[in-house]
Chains A and B, each alone.
Chain A
């Protein structure tokens, strides 16, 4: 009796501790959320406001105390490099002039200002409104104009007494606006103008500071000394420049473009040239929540994505662990050979394995169906699958192959296969990793356990497993985020199929319904590239949602890595 009570008490106290821990976690989560939504923006605005206030104060201060330096800065404010010339630093002025000149030349050569000046405006006067930068602006000004307006005129519109056409070589302003291209051009123009702005500000600050320095030292810094100083001081910036330029072009610009698409109404239904894209703000975001049918699909896909990412990481980890433990156990000889053989699935390129398995599970003449037919097991397996609720295809005892990946009734089966195939491909990686970690566990721990008379399972439970888990925890989270976005695992194996049995009409019109094994990322692919769908704005919205989720997970993961934040 006593023992039982004791047990219950212990259980209750454990429960209490668990509950309070959970409560703390939840509390922490809400506090974090609160800070994120309210405190952080407040702090941001406050620091922004204070920064601007400080800046103005500093400028006024500079005007009062360092008047000469202030005017040199001011001349750089009008033309970058002018202040440097007045400082007699021609080696700084010339590159600054060149940068400005490049921007101006690009603007002038891509624009049609010359026609505007030679009387085209008088010849074709605008009755209503003249879009000067649309008609004559160069790359940057037209880009900015296009970014904010996303175009004004389409084929057939009357403008300045002429009809807008698809393309006009002579009067280029008669060419219809293509909103998509304007948006792209606008993003690129904005990025470049931001860079120009940064250079401009740097030149102002430099002109001001150089003057003060020259007064202090009484000399102009010679060219050679300047170059050496820059090379030394800015060495780190110079060597990360290639990476920054690459990332700006091939990551940042595409990112900004796709981010902005979420706030437009751009779909494949909009015939560019005949119709315009508009800024719609958060309309697309509200659509995915307000449309009930759409929202259920979204939740379905989201749940499956999370389930898939979780299961595919956990199964792979567990099998990898078992495999590593078995091969490392004292019962196994030729460890290296076993490891080499069992590692093969990892060495095969993923896309090939996935497409191979697509054949393996093919409806007709796929390997599995052939094997089952040869062994006369088709119906038995069907029965088993039906009993555990994976198979919904046809009625009991029906002939025919098992439709592993294609029957709308077999959604769960297809999902199971996706996870199993991922397991086949993924376990060797963890087997490798965990084998490596096992080697790092100090033998002294096991010896001590032996002395205390621990059983094999206890040694695993209290030494091996915690050690392995701690060493591999970041990798598990990385795997989870990887699988969350593992487009190939779905696309090459099932292409998202099988389709849902019934699709509500509101979705049928959009034609954008996911398949039963579609995870978010492969659905996004369908939404943006499937020729009959092309819901670009929706795809962009989902991309942003994924990005927020994955980004937060990754930052959390990194924050656990002490080494990342350590200053060196």
Chain B
């Protein structure tokens, strides 16, 4: 049944009561106000990123396309602090962060799917205590621990090593992801395992051929959160990477925002931040449907 325009209009008129108009005005007023609040700082960020100004005072508050310039981006993509560097400082930092994020994602998915499988499918001694212990240990504020990690890495000559930092992130991410995966995997009926077992499947085969394929959506969520986490984690990267003479993008950003640093330049910071924000924003928005899913998966049963 297709409604004509006229139908729709008459229906609209019918609903146009005083009460509805007042509520409607309020609702849309609220929504537009929220949109304004959300967008004002973002627009400002964009207009700062695309100026050739050297000082925030010279930036117009409202984006003005006629004044736009790519000067900041040219600097971002060409400035090399050391001669003979293949990429600019910013890009190098970006690639380093990308490396860290990528390997963190891979290892988190592998390790936590193994542990998640173990915790959802097997009975073993002190199972709950191990899981609870892992998760509680994670809550100890990590700054003092970082001093220990720094010592450990210095002894082993690992400061500035990508994989070493990745391992720290993986160790940090595994307990919670195990918890989520365990919650998800135990909703997969045990009868599937049993049927496979009767057909002579081994433990490894059950995991690889039955459970993991069924858990793909939740593992997608875990992969994306694991990939996102290292981008904006600053302190650990400062301690373990910067001392090894390598900047990640988070360290780079902070250096340009730190008034005590000699590189302090909020305008360049805005351009670098904007460049980084856009891909991350797109991934996050694409992944939003998994948020509710991932949050409830660990908690609820059935």
Contact = CB atoms under 8 A, between A and B. Distances in A.
Contact of A474 (B35, B137, B270, B299): B299
A187 B145 CA distance: 12
Interface in A406-429: 424, 429
B93 interface: no
Interface in A316-343: 323, 326-327, 329, 331-332, 338, 340-343
Contacts of B57: 364-365
Given A237-B124, A240-B114, A432-B292, A326 B27 contact: yes
B73 interface: no
Given A236-B122, A247-B137, A555 B132 contact: yes
Contacts of A236: 118, 121-122, 124
Interface in A430-458: 432-433, 435-437
A432 B231 contact: no
A546 B141 contact: yes
B285 A358 contact: no
* Residue picked from A258, A261, A371, A488, most chain B C-beta under 10 Å: A258
* Residue picked from B37, B151, B207, B301, most chain A C-beta under 10 Å: B151
Interface string B267-282: 0011001001100111
Contacts of B183: 563
Interface stretch (A49-57, A249-257, A302-310, A387-395): A249-257
Given A249-B167, A251-B171, A367-B61, A240 B281 contact: no
A242 B110 CA distance: 10
B144 A543 contact: yes
A355 B141 contact: no
Interface string B89-117: 00000000000000000000011101101
A190 interface: no
Given A239-B117, A563-B183, A251 B273 contact: no
A380 B112 CA distance: 55
Contacts of A432: 288, 291-292
A525 interface: yes
B143 interface: yes
A362 interface: yes
B137 A243 contact: no
Contacts of A529: 143, 235
A566 interface: yes
B24 interface: yes
A246 B137 CA distance: 13
A530 to B, nearest CB: 11
B219 to A, nearest CB: 15
Interface in A544-568: 546-547, 550-551, 554-555, 558, 561-566, 568
A224 B127 CA distance: 28
Interface in A110-147: none
B115 A331 contact: no
Contacts of B40: 367
B30 interface: yes
B174 A243 contact: yes
B76 interface: no
Nearest to B238: A529
What does DSSP make chain B's interface, helix, strand, loop or mixed? helix
Interface in B283-302: 284-285, 288, 291-292, 295-296, 299-301
A564 B178 CA distance: 12
Nearest to A326: B27
Interface stretch (B41-49, B63-71, B77-85): B41-49
Contacts of B143: 258, 521, 524-525, 528-529, 539, 543
B270 A359 contact: yes
A23 interface: no
A365 to B, nearest CB: 4
Contacts of B203: 231-232, 235
Nearest to B117: A239
Contacts of B115: 239-240, 242-243
A243 B128 contact: no
A106 interface: no
Interface in B245-268: 250, 253-254, 257, 266
A542 B141 CA distance: 9
A540 interface: yes
A349 B41 contact: no
A351 interface: yes
A254 B266 contact: no
Contact of B171 (A246, A359, A543): A246
A511 interface: no
Given A180-B151, A351-B250, A555-B132, A540 B144 contact: yes
A379 interface: no
A251 B288 contact: no
Interface in A199-235: 231-232, 235
Given A347-B280, A356-B41, A360-B41, A184 B148 contact: yes
A279 interface: no
A565 B128 contact: yes
B266 to A, nearest CB: 5
B242 interface: no
Contacts of B151: 180-181, 184
A357 interface: yes
Contacts of A352: 232, 253, 273, 276-277
Contacts of A542: 141
Nearest to B20: A331
B146 to A, nearest CB: 7
A433 B38 contact: no
Given A249-B171, A347-B281, A546-B141, A365 B56 contact: yes
B114 A349 contact: no
Contacts of A326: 27, 30-31
B145 A436 contact: no
Contacts of B280: 347-349
B48 to A, nearest CB: 8
B147 interface: yes
A547 B140 contact: yes
B136 interface: yes
Nearest to B136: A551
B147 A342 contact: no
A239 B207 CA distance: 11
20 contacts: A184-B152, A232-B203, A246-B174, A253-B152, A257-B144, A332-B27, A346-B288, A347-B281, A351-B232, A359-B48, A432-B292, A436-B292, A524-B141, A528-B143, A536-B147, A539-B144, A542-B141, A543-B140, A546-B141, A554-B139
Given A235-B204, A239-B207, A342-B38, 9 more contacts: A258-B144, A329-B27, A342-B35, A347-B282, A352-B273, A364-B57, A436-B296, A563-B299, A568-B186
Q: Please provide the 10 A-B residue pairs with the shortest distance between their CB atoms, ordered closest to farther.
A: A254-B145, A258-B144, A436-B292, A236-B122, A257-B148, A250-B171, A365-B56, A347-B284, A563-B301, A351-B232
